[in-house]
Amino acid sequence: MSVAIKPILTEEKVLAKAFTNAGKALGVSQAELGQIIGKNRSNFRNGIDPKTKSGELALLFIRCYRSLFALVGGQAKDMQHWMQTKNTHTGGVPSEQIKTVTGLAYVVEYLDAIRAKV
């Protein structure tokens, strides 16, 4: 008789996985993801505590992904194009802007405002 051991999911692991998946969908590298939350990329593979500053930034980044997903109907190429293209409304290239806390907050605020119109 064999017993299968299921891995235990924690909030930290779920947040790290969602953060990584959002980054992949938006075309953001692992190194850039680490820069966004202020952690080495190898450190967040074991999990990101949602109660920390890094966790709050990861949640904000996921919110950015969700808003953009809703706006473009989930088309990965369109999301990546939007992230890599200079945007006159945000005043820069979103993939560069999100590397700072103020830039990430501004991009999320912009996407939320645009999404409210849809």
Give tens-digit pLDDT for 31-90: 999 999 998 877 777 899 999 999 999 999 999 999 999 999 999 999 999 999 999 999
What's the pLDDT at 116?
A: 79
Under the banding of pLDDT at 50, 70 and 90, the label for residue 118 is: low
Give tens-digit pLDDT for 98-111: 999 999 999 999 99
Domain locations along the chain: 11-117
Torsion-angle region of residue 69: left (phi > 0), alpha (psi -120 to 50) or beta?
A: alpha
Three-state secondary structure call for residue 48: coil
Three-state secondary structure call for residue 92: strand
Under the banding of pLDDT at 50, 70 and 90, the label for residue 117 is: low
Q: What is the pTM of this model?
A: 0.88
